[in-house]
Amino acid sequence: MREQIIHKSAELFLSLGFKSVTMDDIASEMGISKKTIYVHFENKTKLVEAVTFTLFSNICDGIDCICNASHNPIEELYDIKMYVMNYLKNEKTSPQFQLKKYYPKIYQILHLKQFEKMHESVKESIQKGVDTELFRSNINVDFISRMYFNGMTGIKDDTIFPKEKYTMEYLMESYLEYHLRAIVTTKGMTVLNNFINKNQS
């Protein structure tokens, strides 16, 4: 039952937001009593925490699978972007910024976990690109991976990139291309252009 509550709550939080979904809403959607939820979760904050870290863990597992199966670091980053977009396809609110506003402690822990995960995997990916001569050999791999995380986090800020003007898909696509064009070699540019021409209209 605990896993079912987490699963349904995740759906509701992603589509309606952390703030607006109540324990009553979750109980009603699941056809169970609110007491049943409280057997597994002491309060809404504990439920939000469980949902947040379950989603994060699931996304990490998917990213690991992509990294293990990737052909090259350019396609790898695009595959990860598509995976994350599909995973969060029901995201109609800005869950990370709602988390930051209403559950700042959970947000801080998540932000650190996201940084540690992305920093590690992006560093490996960039180094792979350098080793295969797709990325320039004179780049600072550690610095670039930190900048990438900072940029990917920054594009989710509604105040800078309002939803009415930019879709999340456009922002992720554009930022990824911006990032790659800054670090590719001539060989890497050919791979990138071929990939973009083949996969985008």
Q: What is the pLDDT of residue 91?
A: 57
Q: What is the pLDDT of residue 145?
A: 95
In this prediction the pTM is: 0.82
Number of structural domains, the chain? 1
CA distances 179 to 99, 126, 146, 161, 176, Å, are: 27, 11, 12, 17, 5
Enclosing domain of residue 167: 2-199
The parts of the chain modelled with pLDDT lower than 70 are 89-94, 200-201
8 Å CB contact between 183 and 136? yes
How many other C-beta atoms lie within 10 A of the C-beta of residue 68? 8
Domain CATH number, residue 88: 1.10.357.10
Neighbouring C-alpha atoms within 13 Å toward the C-beta of 35? 1
Q: What is the pLDDT of residue 31?
A: 96
Place of tokens 């199966």: 69
Q: Which two tokens stand for residue 18?
A: 């952390």
Q: What is the pLDDT of residue 142?
A: 97
